[in-house]
Structure 1
Amino acid sequence: MARVTAPPAIDTAVAPGARRLLGVPGRAPDPEPEPPPPSRWTRLRTRLARVPRRVWWGLVTLVVIVALVSTYAVTRPPGPPVLTQRDVDTSVQRGIEKQAEADAAAPADGSVAHATIAPSLVLIQTRDTVAGEQQEGSGAGVVVNEDGTVLTALHVVDGSTNITVTFADGTTSPAKVATEKPESDIATLTPSKLPETVVPAVLGGGVAVGAPVFAVGHPLGLTDSLSAGVVSALDRTVRVEGDRKLEHLIQIDAAVNPGNSGGPLLNKAGQVVGIVTGLANPTDQSLFVGIGFAVPIATAGGAAGSPPR
């Protein structure tokens, strides 16, 4: 009999570190499995790594600018409300009211003029005996120099030998006529006694038709009175007592009466722009009917030694 022997046994043990071969003997080993594809994050990092650095800085700058703009848009204060016609009307009305309040609080022009001239105003009184009868007269004047020289109208003191002046502080003094200008009805007086403080008036310049003016004097014995008006005309010529003609006068509509003669005509700043000399009255009475006249200070001031204006 033939002897049958068993085929050699196949060692299935795998040495450590060796890859176990599966399959049938004599067959090629299975191929190695492919590595898994890279994750999305890995691919993204790879792509980002390829971006140039200057692009990164540009992106960072853009992000910062966007952040700043967003912050400003959120935190900036609200803009002004839309202006409506009602708002405009209300603002205009408030402005008018405020101006009216300011005008009401401000002193009137006449008040300013009077306060300015008051320390320089003088009362002139005359007392003479004519044909055995006592005659008295009064008028106004204004101190124009530091030496106490008083400027007035000539007809107030013309021919008088007894002249008394009373200053604003109550000081009374005899006075004498220093200069006369009959052609303009202007005279100056020199008092023999002066007050402690002599306050000369400020002389102004010319005036225009329509300008506000103030006459200050002692009409009808009412001392220290002010009347207001405007310049009605310039360069007027009138005839006065003694058939004298006065020229280049200022015509005014401020009330003047006996006692105003010789007093100052003022502008709204209280500067002397003329000396009141007379009034016009068709009835030949010494009462005011709406037209008065004053000698311009450019003419009157020359009698007191003031330079031409």
Structure 2
Amino acid sequence: MARLTVPPEVPVVGEPGDSEERVENGHRGRWPDRLRQRPWLVVLAIALVAGLVALLALRDPDPPPLTQRDVDARVSVGLEAQAEEEARAPAEATLAFATIQPSLVLITTRGANSEGEFGGTGAGVIVNATGAILTALHVVEDADSITVAYTDGTRSPATIASADPDNDIAALEPETLPETVVPAVLGGGVQIGTPVYAVGHPLGLPGSLSAGVVSALDRDVRVDGGRRLRNLIQIDAAVNPGNSGGPLLNANGQVVGIVTGLANPNDESLFVGIGFAVPIATAGGTAGGPPR
């Protein structure tokens, strides 16, 4: 007899759609469950957001546009700084004097003539390493004795080593040199308007400087004794008795001439606004140096 098998009953689990809802509910609860299981993910996310906010806060904002007022203010500050720096810097004349001072010489003379004894003062400048001194010939030519004094206090008798009467220039040879011989630096030619400084001992005032400019070139003047000096530098820097033979300097402290005299239309020996100097190109040869 055949047996009949009955299929097992399928248990009823609920109304249609329950399984879909459970699936959906299961999906909706998956990420919160993971976050609860991994709290470090929350901390990491918060830290990343905080870092981004801090980075944006620290980033420099765009600079404001530059205005004309800003430009003027910066230019003004720059000009003020430049003016202060220039005010602190020594003047050209100060530098020129400091350069020539170790080479400057005071010359005193003694002599006698038909009118009796006389004495005089003048200036000179060391022009080479052997200690040769350039000066104006009229300062020393009639003297029986010549004494030179250096800026370090050394004093020495001196004699005329060579002379150029046509240009009123003499070179002196001292018996004793200073401890340190500092020859002057000889310069080149000058032009009208060039700033110049006459250094000497006017009216017995040692180590004096006067400032001016070259007011003319190639001047010819007649001097005592009927001589005529030619091709002189005319200057408006003050020169007086005691300046004769001293150096005429440019702004760099280089010797560009040897002071020889001054204009005296009223037969006065005091400065009246015009002085003269022999160009160093002419005077230098008297001390044995090549013309410049």
TM-score range, shorter chain: 0.7 to 0.9
Name stretches of at least 5 consecutive residues in structure 2 with no aligned partner: 11-53
Q: Quote the residue 2:116 is aligned against.
A: 133
Alignment root-mean-square deviation, CA = 2.5
Q: Quote the residue 2:37 is aligned against.
A: none
Instruction: Tell me which of 252, 259, 268 is aligned to 2:251.
Output: 268
Q: Quote the residue 1:257 is aligned against.
A: 240
Q: Quote the residue 1:171 is aligned against.
A: 154
Q: Quote the residue 2:39 is aligned against.
A: none
Q: Quote the residue 2:192 is aligned against.
A: 209
1:205 maps to amino acid = G
Structure 2: how far apart are the matches of 1:193 and 1:219?
25
1:139 maps to amino acid = G
2:267 maps to amino acid = D
User: Identity over the aligned pairs, expressed in percent?
Assistant: 66
Change (3 A) 1:78 1:129: same
Name stretches of at least 5 consecutive residues in structure 1 with no aligned partner: 1-12, 20-70
Structure 2: how far apart are the matches of 1:76 and 1:267?
59
Q: 1:176-215 alignment to 2 at 5 Å?
A: 176-215=159-198
Q: 1:1-309 alignment to 2 at 5 Å?
A: 15-16=6-7, 76-131=59-114, 133-309=116-292
Q: How many pairs were matched up?
A: 252
SS in 2 for 1:174: strand
Structure 1 stretches of 4+ moved >6 Å: 71-75
Structure 1: how far apart are the matches of 2:196 and 2:66?
45
Change (3 A) 1:236 1:80: farther
Structure 1: how far apart are the matches of 2:248 and 2:143?
24
Q: Summarize deviations over 1:37-73 as a string: whole Å, max 9, x none.
A: xxxxxxxxxxxxxxxxxxxxxxxxxxxxxxxxxx998
Structure 2: how far apart are the matches of 1:205 and 1:15?
138
Q: Summarize deviations over 1:210-261 as a string: whole Å, max 9, x none.
A: 1111110000101110001111111111111122111111111110000000
Q: Summarize deviations over 1:271-308 as a string: whole Å, max 9, x none.
A: 11110011112111111111111111111111112222
Structure 2: how far apart are the matches of 1:252 and 1:72?
73
Task: Verify the 8 A CA contact 2:158 2:172 in the aligned structure 1.
Answer: yes
2:61 maps to amino acid = P
1:257 maps to amino acid = N
* TM score, norm. by length of structure 2: 0.80
SS in 2 for 1:302: helix
1:229 maps to amino acid = G
Compute the displacement of 1:79 (Å): 3.6
Change (3 A) 1:232 1:18: same
1:270 maps to amino acid = G
Task: Verify the 8 A CA contact 2:112 2:144 in the aligned structure 1.
Answer: no
Change (3 A) 1:251 1:14: farther
* TM score, norm. by length of structure 1: 0.76
- Higher Rg of the two aligned structures: 1
Structure 2: how far apart are the matches of 1:263 and 1:284?
22
Structure 2: how far apart are the matches of 1:245 and 1:203?
25
Structure 2: how far apart are the matches of 1:79 and 1:304?
72
Compute the displacement of 1:159 (Å): 2.2
Structure 1: how far apart are the matches of 2:284 and 2:174?
18
Change (3 A) 1:18 1:113: same
Q: Summarize deviations over 1:189-222 as a string: whole Å, max 9, x none.
A: 0001111111111111111211111110000101
Structure 2: how far apart are the matches of 1:225 and 1:257?
11
